[in-house]
Amino acid sequence: MSRIYLTKDDKIEKYENHLVKLTLAPDKGEAAGEIEGLEPRRLFPVSNPDSYITLLDREGRERAVIRSYADLDAASAALVKQSLEDYYLVPKILRIISKAEKYGTLRWTVETDRGIVSFDIRNRNHDIHVMRSGFVRVRDANDNRYVIEDCNKLDRHSYALLIADT
């Protein structure tokens, strides 16, 4: 069984909520036809979110993989993007408003693109990842994810609060 990579001939349509319907073109051989209720999922949600999107059926089996949006027609690509937007909720932190520390647990109050929120960070070594490029991944005590797209572009106050814990 080799993996099916989608091409422009294949169609992706909306099914329900974030699930999609896939129509595989005849050139896919035996697999050709319609599959309903597929869930697009990122194979590399952190390191490469826009490539290698797998389509899983209800049993969690992989039915096809999208190499990149460029392999799809515009409508299909937009639909997949939308579905992933719904599935992966990763607020972008715009500003760190305040920071408090109690028994080694950090409590951040931040302004994100989705509003203001407070959360706990249990382990600053593991849960705050600063990439070389300035990209920061944050994970809270409940396993929710947040990102800072470029910590160098934060205001001075936020930057100082962030850098003290890295």
Partner 1 sequence: METTTKMLLKNKELPERAAALAESLAENGDAALFAIVGDMGLDGKYSKTALLFTAKKAVLYDEDLSEVREYLYEDMKEVRAKRMYGNATLSAKMKNGKREIFFRYTYGVAPLCDAAALFISHLNEGRSFREEYAIVSVAYERALSVCPKCGRPLLHPGAECIMCRSKKKVVKQLSKYVLPHTKTLIFCIFLSLFTTFMALIPPAITGFIVDAVFSEGTSTVPILGKIAAAFAGEPKKVLTAMILLLLSTYILQYGVGIIRAYLMRTVGNKTVAALRNDIYRKAQYLPMKFYDKTSTGSVINRISGDSATLQNFMLRITQEAVVHLFQLVGIVVIMISLNPSLTLLSLLPIPFVVFATRVFSKKMRPLYRRIWRRWTKVSSVMADTIPCIKVVKSFTGEERSTAVFEEKNRDWLNMELHLGKIVTAFPQIISFCVTCGSLIIWGVGGGKVIDGVGGYSAGLIVAFISYASMFYNPVTFFANLSDSFQSALASTEKILDILEAEPEPELPNSVTPDHFNGRIEFNHVSFSFDRIKKVLDDVTFTVEPGEVVGIVGTTGSGKSTLVNLLMRFYDGYSGEILVDGHNIKNFSLSPYRSQIGYVQQEPQMFSDTIFNNIAYSVPGATAEEVMAAADTANAHGFICRQPDGYDTVLGERGVGVSGGEKQRLSIARAVLMRPSILIFDEATAAVDSETEHLIQDAIDKLIEGKTTLMIAHRLSTLRRANRILVVDNGHIIENGTPEELMALKGKYYKLVQIQSMAAESERMRKEERF
Binder of partner 1 out of 18, 25, 28, 52 (CB under 8 A):
52
How far, in Å, CA of 99 to CA of 124, rounded? 13
Q: Which residues pair with 92 in a beta bridge?
A: 147
Residues of the chain by 3-state class (helix, strand, coil), percent to 5: 25, 40, 35
Range in contact with partner 1 (rule: CB under 8 A) among 58-66, 76-84, 92-100, 156-164: 58-66
- Within residues 135-154, the interface with partner 1 by CB under 8 A covers 143
Do the Cβ atoms of 138 and 128 come closer than 8 Å? yes
Reduced to 3 states (helix: H, G, I; strand: E, B; else coil), residue 116 is: strand
Q: Is 44 in the site for partner 1 (CB under 8 A)?
A: yes
Question: x/- site string to partner 1, residues 60 to 79, per CB under 8 A?
Answer: xxx--x--------------
Question: Is the Cβ of residue 32 or residue 56 nearer to partner 1 in the bound state?
Answer: 56
The residue type found at 98 is S
How far, in Å, CA of 108 to CA of 165, rounded? 11
Nearest distance, CB of residue 6 and partner 1, angstroms: 14
User: Which residues make up the interface to partner 1 (CB under 8 A)?
Assistant: 1, 3, 41-48, 51-52, 54, 56, 60-62, 65, 126, 143
